[in-house]
């Protein structure tokens, strides 16, 4: 192993150990500011990916962003057109902002997000998507102008990001998130089998519960999803990514 | 209903059919789906050098059908991290009687949104607690890390991530604890023990020959 990747390992392990004893979010932000600045990062955010009903500011876990940028980003609802957020939903691999595709001609909103970000020294960036248990989606995105991003530094940053996210999650306890808390595991299972074309009786056989119980789970899911029937409940659950088939 | 069965050398004869299903599913999941081409075999069974008398399998079985599985193997014997992935470890390969290596974890495609994942994770913690195992080590794709952590597992990196087959992977140690078991059970709404032991499953921790240590 080269000397420099050894240093990065020490840096990353040290960061992880220090995080464990940090008691609050401001402490995490300070530690991240210090450790990420070594790699040239000036700004960062840890955020959940909002579903259609959530506003961006409701899902942000922590941030060190220029105030002006956060205001514009929220006001203009950029989260719906941000190519970085879009790519986050579709990959589990870390990526540089420049790798997030968009069509400058056909998608001027996406171009606007990326262009205006540079006004706030957010020219280049590195984004770490997080796909948690029960469909919880989040990311840590960090940016700056002169970044030390290479095959030597990325593994350390990747690891540091996962632990920064985890410490933040512990401190805020958004647990697999209200979105997934919405339905119980049984309700999700019942809807999944409904989506697969199974009747309540079939589903009961598969799950080893009575047909009546299956119907009760589905009725309860309908209520929570504000759906008038099973079909709409399945559609909504898929839309919110509570179930997948 | 899905239950997780403990299969060791001692009771394997009772589970021959399930073990064969498990090997075939491993080929489907790891070779065909995940693209670990080095494991490809013409007969469609993924079996390696560690599928021997020391391997312990925890298989999720629903009405005779294997829907997920995982393997534990003593770290006092040559194991994958010590033999295949020693370069993934920058802080020394953990090897002790109460440390096992955790490999070949998967859930079949159609069960990935249900509780099977949590059931298997809980079963691993539960089994290790019962057997006095304090830690398991594993090499996994990085996207596993937040999933484990959200399941309540305490994960210690053993090295920096490295790319294997174009996927960033990491060698890590997972602590075994009552707290983690409680957390993952709560998350999935699982009540109480879910491990099934048929026949003689022996005490794996005592079966490793001392000479190799």
Q: Quick check: A124 pLDDT over 80?
A: yes
Chain A residue with minimum CA distance to B184? A133
**Chain A residues in contact with B194 (beta carbon < 8 A):** none
Q: What is the pLDDT of residues B111-143, one digit of tens each?
A: 987 789 999 999 999 999 999 999 999 999 999
Average pLDDT over residues A107-124: 96
Of B160, B167, B187, which has the smallest distance from its Cβ to A156's Cβ? B160
Q: Name the burial class of residue B48, with classes exposed (0-12), middle (13-18) and buried (19+) by CB atoms within 10 angstroms of its CB.
A: middle
Q: Do A159 and B170 touch (CB under 8 A)?
A: yes
Q: Do B160 and A94 touch (CB under 8 A)?
A: no
Q: What is the pLDDT of residues A6-57, one digit of tens each?
A: 689 999 999 999 999 999 999 999 999 999 999 999 999 999 999 888 899 9
Percentage of residues of chain B with pLDDT beyond 70: 94
Token representation of residue B54: 């020391």
Of A131, A176, A189, which has the smallest distance from its Cβ to B114's Cβ? A189
Q: Do B1 and A189 touch (CB under 8 A)?
A: no
Closest alpha carbon to B122 in B175, B67, B69, B181:
B181
User: Max alpha carbon distance in chain A (Å)?
Assistant: 65
DSSP B91-111: S-----TTEEEEEEEEE-GGG
* pLDDT score at B115: 84
Chain A residue with minimum CA distance to B163? A155
Q: Quick check: B36 pLDDT over 90?
A: no
Neighbours of A229 (CB within 10 A): 10
Q: What is the pLDDT of residues B1-16, one digit of tens each?
A: 889 999 999 999 999 9
pTM above the 0.90 mark?
A: no
Determine the distance in angstroms separating the CA of B13 from the nearest CA of chain A, rounded to an integer: 27
Q: Name the burial class of residue A151, with classes exposed (0-12), middle (13-18) and buried (19+) by CB atoms within 10 angstroms of its CB.
A: exposed
Determine the distance in angstroms separating the CA of B149 from the nearest CA of chain A, rounded to an integer: 7
Mean pLDDT of chain A: 90
Mutate to test the interface with B, among A185, A189, A241 (most CBs of B within 10 A): A185
Chain B residue with minimum CA distance to A174? B150
Closest alpha carbon to B124 in B172, B181, B179:
B181
ipTM: 0.90
Determine the distance in angstroms separating the CA of B210 from the nearest CA of chain A, rounded to an integer: 33
Q: What is the pLDDT of residues B88-111, one digit of tens each?
A: 999 899 999 999 999 999 999 989
Mutate to test the interface with B, among A48, A155, A186 (most CBs of B within 10 A): A155
**Chain A residues in contact with B113 (beta carbon < 8 A):** 135, 188, 192, 243-245
């Amino acid at each position: 192993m080269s000397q420099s990747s050894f240093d990065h390992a020490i840096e990353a392990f040290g960061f992880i150990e220090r995080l464990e004893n940090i008691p609050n979010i401001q402490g995490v932000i300070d530690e991240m500011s210090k450790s990420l600045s070594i790699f040239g990062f000036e700004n960062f955010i840890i955020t959940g990916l909002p579903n259609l009903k959530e506003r961006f500011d409701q899902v942000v876990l922590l941030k060190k962003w220029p105030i002006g940028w956060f205001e514009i980003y929220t006001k203009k609802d950029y989260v719906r057109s941000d190519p970085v957020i879009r790519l986050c939903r579709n990959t589990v691999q870390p990526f540089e902002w420049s790798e997030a595709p968009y069509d400058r001609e056909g998608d001027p909103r996406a171009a606007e997000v990326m262009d205006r970000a540079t006004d706030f020294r957010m020219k280049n960036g590195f984004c770490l998507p997080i796909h948690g248990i029960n469909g919880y989606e989040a990311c840590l995105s960090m940016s700056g102008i002169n970044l030390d991003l290479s095959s030597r530094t990325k593994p350390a940053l990747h690891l540091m990001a996962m632990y920064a996210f985890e410490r933040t999650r512990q401190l805020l306890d958004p647990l697999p998130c209200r979105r997934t808390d919405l339905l119980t595991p049984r309700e999700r299972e019942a809807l999944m089998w409904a989506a697969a074309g199974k009747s309540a009786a079939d589903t009961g056989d598969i799950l080893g519960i009575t047909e009546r119980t299956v119907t009760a789970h589905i009725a309860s899911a309908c209520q929570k999803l504000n759906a008038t029937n099973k079909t709409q409940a399945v559609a909504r659950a898929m839309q919110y990514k509570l179930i997948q088939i | 209903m899905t239950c997780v069965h403990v299969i060791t050398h001692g009771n394997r004869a009772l589970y021959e059919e399930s073990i064969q299903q498990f090997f075939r599913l491993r080929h489907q999941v790891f070779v065909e789906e995940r693209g670990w081409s080095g494991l490809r075999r013409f007969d469609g069974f993924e079996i390696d050098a560690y599928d021997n008398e020391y391997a312990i399998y925890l298989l999720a079985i629903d009405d005779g059908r294997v829907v997920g599985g995982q393997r534990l193997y003593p770290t006092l014997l040559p194991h994958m991290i010590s033999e295949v992935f020693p370069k993934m470890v920058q802080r020394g390969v953990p090897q002790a009687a109460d440390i096992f290596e955790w490999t070949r974890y998967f859930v079949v495609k159609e069960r990935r949104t249900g509780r099977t994942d949590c059931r298997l994770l809980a079963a691993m913690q539960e089994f290790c607690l019962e057997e006095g195992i304090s830690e398991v080590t594993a090499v996994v794709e990085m996207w596993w890390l937040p999933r484990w952590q959200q399941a309540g597992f305490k994960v210690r990196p053993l090295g920096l991530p490295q790319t294997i087959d174009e996927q960033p992977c990491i060698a890590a140690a997972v602590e075994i604890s009552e707290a983690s078991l409680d957390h993952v059970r709560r998350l999935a709404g699982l009540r109480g023990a879910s491990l099934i032991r048929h026949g003689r499953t022996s005490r794996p921790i005592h079966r490793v020959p001392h000479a190799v240590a």
